[in-house]
Amino acid sequence: MKIALVSLNSVWEDKQSNLISVENCIKSIGNNAEYIIFPEMTLTGFSVYNLDLAEDLENSESIKYFQQLAKKYNLNIIFGLLISRENNIYNSCIAVNKNGHISASYEKIHLFSFSGEDKFIKSGNEIISLSWDGGWGLSICFDLRFPDLYQILSKQNLILLNIANWPKDRVLHWKALLRARAIENQSFMIGVNRTGTDGNGLEYEESSYIFSPLGNNLNPVMSIGEIKIFALNLKEAKLYRSNFPFKNDSKISYQKISKN
């Protein structure tokens, strides 16, 4: 399978400009990928204080536009958006298939209290997987620091995904954690991060990666500007799990914890 990662330099709180950039990226990959993935809060940057940016899940103009793009270009698309639902605001990762249907909507579980995200955004409470080829487990940015989430997701998914706005100052952590999640879960670990500078003055560097189940940093088969296209062989993950089945020995919960 061919997957395009877009290290988008999102214009701060400007949905229209970012939608134009999104379509230009999609146009530029042509038939070279089946999937395309954009960073967290694709159309606004990591703006968690301006709740007017949130859109109703059932009536979102942005989602409708992505659905049109998916059908027009015959692509499966994943992107980030602030969503309002039942009087709450969620930091969401949304997957739209090539037929224009919403395949999944994941609401970020681990909110970044260091930035105050938890004061404005409600935490999700559901672990979400996509039934796309190989199975895809969805996550967003700060989720990456909580490995138990990925242990659960990897039970039924060969691909784990994190879309992020992960600042340059901590990019060493980003890369190390992506590699660790790949190794410990025997899964492909995809991380899609933005670039540029946001409205809070935080800098981001190009750091979108795919790590193999063995922890290898995969090289793209093609690069087009801020887009990198990768070829994944899902048999690699299946074979590795079969030959070295340590996941069968996992014990997520423990009956007793002793303190001596």
- DSSP assignment of 173-216 equals HHHHHHHHHHHHHTSEEEEEE--EE-TT--EE----EEE-TT--
- Does pLDDT of 32 surpass 70? yes
Residue 69 tokens read as 């793009």
- Does pLDDT of 258 surpass 60? no
Percent of the chain residues past pLDDT 90, beyond the cut:
91
- DSSP assignment of 13-60 equals T-HHHHHHHHHHHHHHHTTS-SEEE--TTTTT-S--S-GGG-EETTT-
Among 45, 31, 36, 27, smallest CA distance to 5 is for 36
> What is the rounded distance in angstroms from the CA atom of residue 64 to the CA atom of residue 58?
10
Q: What is the pLDDT of residues 140-173, one digit of tens each?
A: 999 999 999 999 999 999 999 999 999 999 999 9
* Mean pLDDT score of the chain: 95
What value does the CA radius of gyration of the chain take, rounded to a whole number of Å? Answer: 18
Residue with tokens 């088969």: 221
Q: What is the pLDDT of residues 237-256, one digit of tens each?
A: 999 999 988 877 877 654 45
CATH topology of domain 2-242: Nitrilase/N-carbamoyl-D-aminoacid amidohydrolase (3.60.110)
Among 38, 33, 41, 34, smallest CA distance to 12 is for 41
What torsion do the CA atoms of 19, 62, 123, 190 make, to the nearest 10 degrees?
-50
- pTM score: 0.95
